[in-house]
Structure 1
Amino acid sequence: MTEPILKVEGLSKAFGALEASRDIWLDLRPGEIHALIGPNGAGKSTLIQQIAGGLAPDRGRVLFDGRDVTALSTAARARLGLGRTFQISSLAMEYTVLQNAVLGALGRRGGVFRFFRPVMRDAALLKAARAALEQVGLAGVERVRTAELSHGQRRQLEVAVALTLRPRAFLMDEPMAGLGAEGTRAMTAFLRRLKTQAPILLVEHDMDAVFALADRISVLVYGGIIASGSVQEVRGDPEVRRAYLGEEGAP
């Protein structure tokens, strides 16, 4: 079996009496989309924050490409190739599409924001930014101010910014959020192509998209993984049907 690029081993995190993460084990393998699903309040965002480096676990560790990165910052993990898109946009709305992509490329270099103007004349950064925009289908709007983009285009730009870091794996937090039916279809097709470049740990509430995309699914309920397996295995698991999908969501 191919060695996972990302491993989560025994992660636990509590906020007072609330166990947001409880002894979580999962991994992400090359070429796959591993979907993390669960009801609101299950602890998905807390888990992603621990994997990305924004929140320190109480116990357990995160390994990336065989290296223990548990003590590393978000920026350090990103420079190693762990890319992330956010549930709430982190784009600079006043800047153009190209400027946002260049900021992403600058982050890989470890650049400083005060040198932004000279950076916009940096041929290598511009090349990386434009290549990422081309890949997500935004090459034609690089001079448009980000605030003027549609919601779906902003989602595409977030992925482009992550791509400038040349990620070896992605963490994606609800990339379908706010997209209409057409936008969801387009994003689904894009993610299906993208996983061949870098595997994706996907947090998503759109179950149609999850079932269409996921190679594996892990179900998080009350801070713990209650099931993990293929789409067919998870859909047929009685505990999952009872605890998460319920009568209305059961296939």
Structure 2
Amino acid sequence: MADPLLDIQGVSKSFGALRATDDVSLTLLSGEIHALIGPNGAGKSTLIQQVAGGLVPDAGRILFDGRDMTTLGTAERARAGLGRTFQISALAMENTVLQNTVLGVVGASRRVWRFARSVMRDGGVRAQAEAALDRVGLSDVADMRVGELSHGQRRLLEVAVALTLRPKVFLMDEPMAGLGAEGSARMTGFLDGLRSEAPILLVEHDMDAVFALADRISVLVSGKVIATGTPADIRSNADVRTAYLGEEHAP
């Protein structure tokens, strides 16, 4: 088996008496979607925060492309190739769709810009931003303020911004949240094609999307991984059905 691009080794994080993640280990391999599922409060978003650099684990290590990044910050991890979308939108609502995407290009380039107007006039930067918007189907709303977009369009914009970083790995925290059936189907199709560009660690509550997309699934309950395996393995796991899935997801 090839070495994992992302290797989470025995990660733990406590907040007072609450152990949010408890000796969590999982890997992400090239070309795959590894879904992380579990009930609310299981520790999924806390784990993603530790992987992205927003939280430093109390114990354990996080290796990215063979490099120990356990104590590095979010900016350093993003520059190294971690592209993240958020459970709660981090977009600039008063700026346009194109301006938000341009900021992603600027962040990826590490260039220093003194004035926003200079950025928007740079043809190369605009071209990269426009290409990312085209990929997610948002070219026709490039000049709209983000605050005027639908919820589904904002989720797609977050993906576009992540694409501008040209990541080696995508971290996606509930990209289907708030989407209707049509929006979820569109996002599922897009993510299915994206895995060949960079593998995805996917946190998601939409089980139809999870079982349609995931090559492997890890189940987190009370901060612990209780099972990891293929979708078929997870469907047939009695402990997982008892703790989270319910009988409607039995094989």
How does the TM-score come out when normalised to structure 1? 0.97
**Secondary structure of the structure 2 residue equivalent to 1:120:** helix
Matched, 1:159 2:143: no
Matched, 1:29 2:57: no
Instruction: Give the aligned partner of residue 132 of structure 2.
Output: 132
Instruction: Give the aligned partner of residue 177 of structure 2.
Output: 177
Instruction: Give the aligned partner of residue 225 of structure 2.
Output: 225
Superposed displacement of residue 124, structure 1? 2.1
Superposed displacement of residue 111, structure 1? 4.7
Instruction: Give the aligned partner of residue 66 of structure 1.
Output: 66
State the distance in 2 between where 1:18 and 1:89 align.
Answer: 26
State the distance in 2 between where 1:192 and 1:69 align.
Answer: 27
1:199-238 equivalences under 5 Å are 199-238=199-238
User: Cα deviation per residue 1:120-160 (whole Å; 9 max; x = unaligned)?
Assistant: 11222112111111111112221111111111111110000
Instruction: Give the aligned partner of residue 102 of structure 1.
Output: 102
1:44-59 equivalences under 5 Å are 44-59=44-59
The one-letter code sitting in structure 2 at the alignment partner of 1:49 is Q
State the distance in 2 between where 1:148 and 1:51 align.
Answer: 31
**Secondary structure of the structure 1 residue equivalent to 2:121:** coil
Instruction: Give the aligned partner of residue 141 of structure 2.
Output: 141
**Secondary structure of the structure 1 residue equivalent to 2:36:** strand
Whether the aligned pair in 1 keeps the contact of 2:170 and 2:198 (CA below 8 Å) is: yes
Alpha-carbon RMSD across the aligned residues, in angstroms, is: 1.3
Select between 139-148 and 199-208 the one with higher mean Cα deviation.
139-148
Structure 1 residue ranges without an equivalent (≥5): none
The one-letter code sitting in structure 2 at the alignment partner of 1:173 is D
The one-letter code sitting in structure 1 at the alignment partner of 2:37 is I
The one-letter code sitting in structure 2 at the alignment partner of 1:106 is V
Instruction: Give the aligned partner of residue 194 of structure 1.
Output: 194
Identity %: 68
State the distance in 2 between where 1:113 and 1:175 align.
Answer: 31
The one-letter code sitting in structure 2 at the alignment partner of 1:151 is H
**Secondary structure of the structure 2 residue equivalent to 1:159:** helix
The one-letter code sitting in structure 1 at the alignment partner of 2:13 is K
The one-letter code sitting in structure 2 at the alignment partner of 1:198 is A
The one-letter code sitting in structure 2 at the alignment partner of 1:239 is D
How does the TM-score come out when normalised to structure 2? 0.97
The one-letter code sitting in structure 2 at the alignment partner of 1:192 is D
The one-letter code sitting in structure 1 at the alignment partner of 2:225 is I
Superposed displacement of residue 51, structure 1? 0.3
The one-letter code sitting in structure 2 at the alignment partner of 1:19 is R
Structure 2 residue ranges without an equivalent (≥5): none
Superposed displacement of residue 113, structure 1? 7.0
The one-letter code sitting in structure 2 at the alignment partner of 1:161 is V
The one-letter code sitting in structure 1 at the alignment partner of 2:173 is D
State the distance in 2 between where 1:69 and 1:223 align.
Answer: 21
Whether the aligned pair in 1 keeps the contact of 2:155 and 2:175 (CA below 8 Å) is: yes
State the distance in 1 between where 2:32 and 2:122 align.
Answer: 34
The one-letter code sitting in structure 2 at the alignment partner of 1:45 is S
Select between 140-149 and 27-36 the one with higher mean Cα deviation.
140-149
State the distance in 2 between where 1:211 and 1:179 align.
Answer: 17
The one-letter code sitting in structure 2 at the alignment partner of 1:21 is T
State the distance in 2 between where 1:3 and 1:97 align.
Answer: 37
Whether the aligned pair in 1 keeps the contact of 2:235 and 2:249 (CA below 8 Å) is: no
The one-letter code sitting in structure 2 at the alignment partner of 1:194 is L
**Secondary structure of the structure 2 residue equivalent to 1:185:** helix
